[in-house]
Amino acid sequence: MIAVDHKAAGSRGSEHKVIETPNRPPAVSVRNVAMTFGVDEKRHVVFENISFNAAKGEILCLVGASGCGKTTLLRQVAGLQRPTTGEILFDETLITGPSRERAMVFQDYGRALLPWRSVRSNIALSLEGTGRSKEEIAETVTRLMAMTGLSAASSKYPSELSGGMQQRVQIARCIAQKPKLLLMDEPFGALDALTRQSLQDELLSIVAAQKITVVFITHDLEEAIYLGDKVIALGANPGRVLADLTIDLPRPRHQLATREEPEFLRMRHLLHELIVGH
Ligand SMILES: Nc1ncnc2c1ncn2[C@@H]1O[C@H](COP(=O)(O)OP(=O)(O)OP(=O)(O)O)[C@@H](O)[C@H]1O
Ligand SMILES: [Mg+2]
């Protein structure tokens, strides 16, 4: 696995020392990936030379300026798009298309949910057509609604729910398909600070219990440090890896105590310097 010695990665625009840390096998392996749109004078290199690994059960957060290619990269890990060059592997197999093992949670929960289906029925959606019995589906959905605090809203429709509740439905729907990898594109970006914090903690307890690997995009540097085992900072024009940081903060994390740790503050300063000062 490739990591960066972040103690050596403090200065703006510096080259980052790459070190090898032989530990858990990678679940996701992004190898020298580049993406270009258009040809000739319309050619636009979105990113190049992107390499990083996410170990099994790890939460990897991607941060970077708007337009540096985070969503494009996540779509490639989902198998919805192919990179121009390079390769992305999941469980040591080349990703060539979408799979039920890799679930995607979108920021825009309003569009992700079906407005004519209740909470229960929206969550059940990802289990339909999988050969499971009605009873089995009902049991799974009931368990997931309890896990995500949606039991009381079971028969409500998306338009009757708050933003946080709608996002819980989308997360529950993804978890229902028992993914090995959860891909999240600014999932809490549209929520208020308190709802965002409670969903962060719910996500942490769900992925710890289910041992899911997560790739999580956010604009919020603190959110990345709070959630992540690892934070990849991307620079723009073209997009590239500025730093691959290991977040050495104990778990379970705590909204107040973790954010007051000297290591948290050190990471916040480092990322701010890398991303904002870039
Ligand atoms: N299908 C496409 N055709 C042409 N250009 C595209 C296409 N998809 C994305 N791009 C371009 O690729 C670049 C990266 O887009 P992307 O949405 O991945 O950025 P992002 O880092 O997710 O930005 P944000 O933080 O604003 O969500 C942008 O310049 C965008 O215009
Ligand atoms: Mg995006």
> From the CB of 133, is ligand 1 less than 6 Å away?
no
User: Over the Cα atoms of the chain, what is R_g?
Assistant: 19
pTM of the model: 0.90
For residue 158, say if its preceding peptide bond is cis, omega within 30 degrees of 0.
Answer: no
Distance 249 CA to ligand 2 centre (A): 27
Residues in contact with 268: Cβ distance below 8 Å, sequence separation at least 6, in sequence order:
221, 222, 225
Find the domain containing 256 and state its range.
1-6+18-101+180-278
Over residues 108-162, the pLDDT tens digits come to: 888 899 999 999 999 999 999 888 999 999 999 999 999 999 999 999 999 999 9
pLDDT of residue 129: 85
Statement to judge: residues 93 and 135 lie in one domain: no
User: Within a domain: residue 70?
Assistant: yes
User: Within a domain: residue 128?
Assistant: yes
DSSP-derived letter for residue 239 is: B
Statement to judge: residues 193 and 84 lie in one domain: yes
Distance 66 CA to ligand 1 centre (A): 8
Statement to judge: residues 187 and 97 lie in one domain: yes
User: Within a domain: residue 88?
Assistant: yes
For residue 262, say if its preceding peptide bond is cis, omega within 30 degrees of 0.
Answer: no
Task: Using the predicted structure, report yes or no on whether residue 23 has a pLDDT greater than 60.
Answer: yes
What CATH number does the domain containing 252 carry?
3.40.50.300
Share of the chain above pLDDT 70, in %: 91
Map tokens 């969903």 to a residue. 199
User: Which residue, of 123, 157, 178, is where some domain finishes?
Assistant: 178
From the CA of 65, give the closest atom in ligand 1.
25
User: Which residue, of 154, 178, 202, is where some domain finishes?
Assistant: 178
> Which protein residue's CA is at the shortest distance from atom 18 of ligand 1?
69
Statement to judge: residues 131 and 228 lie in one domain: no
User: Which residue, of 118, 143, 178, is where some domain finishes?
Assistant: 178
Residues in contact with 216: Cβ distance below 8 Å, sequence separation at least 6, in sequence order:
59, 60, 61, 62, 184, 187, 224, 227, 228
Of all helices (H) and strands (E), which one includes residue 253?
A: none
Q: Which ligand is nearest to the CA of 66?
A: 1
Task: Using the predicted structure, report yes or no on whether residue 193 has a pLDDT greater than 80.
Answer: yes
User: Within a domain: residue 57?
Assistant: yes
Contact between 234 and 242 (Cβ < 8 Å): yes
User: Quick one: which of 24, 14, 71 has its CA closest to 241?
Assistant: 14
Distance 250 CA to ligand 1 centre (A): 34
Statement to judge: residues 165 and 255 lie in one domain: no
Statement to judge: residues 194 and 58 lie in one domain: yes
Q: Which ligand is nearest to the CA of 239?
A: 1
Statement to judge: residues 212 and 173 lie in one domain: no
Statement to judge: residues 170 and 215 lie in one domain: no
Statement to judge: residues 93 and 229 lie in one domain: yes
pLDDT of residue 56: 94
> From the CB of 46, is ligand 1 less than 6 Å away?
yes
Statement to judge: residues 236 and 276 lie in one domain: yes
User: Within a domain: residue 237?
Assistant: yes
User: Within a domain: residue 139?
Assistant: yes
> From the CB of 237, is ligand 1 less than 6 Å away?
no
Statement to judge: residues 208 and 91 lie in one domain: yes
Q: Which residues lie near ion ligand 2 (Cβ < 5 Å)?
A: 70-71
Distance 58 CA to ligand 2 centre (A): 21
Alpha carbons 273 and 36: distance in angstroms, whole number: 28
Alpha carbons 175 and 207: distance in angstroms, whole number: 9
Alpha carbons 181 and 258: distance in angstroms, whole number: 25
Amino acid at 80: L
Over residues 54-70, the pLDDT tens digits come to: 999 999 999 999 999 99
Alpha helix (H) residue ranges in the chain: 70-78, 109-112, 119-124, 134-147, 163-176, 193-210, 221-227, 257-260, 262-275
Statement to judge: residues 60 and 2 lie in one domain: yes
User: Within a domain: residue 13?
Assistant: no
Our separate counts of H helices and E strands in the chain read 9, 12
Contact between 184 and 105 (Cβ < 8 Å): yes
User: Within a domain: residue 12?
Assistant: no
The torsion angles phi and psi of 209, rounded to 5 degrees, stand at -70, -40
From the CA of 219, give the closest atom in ligand 1.
25
pLDDT of residue 8: 40
Task: Using the predicted structure, report yes or no on whether residue 22 has a pLDDT greater than 90.
Answer: no
Alpha carbons 204 and 33: distance in angstroms, whole number: 29
* Total number of domains constituting the chain: 2
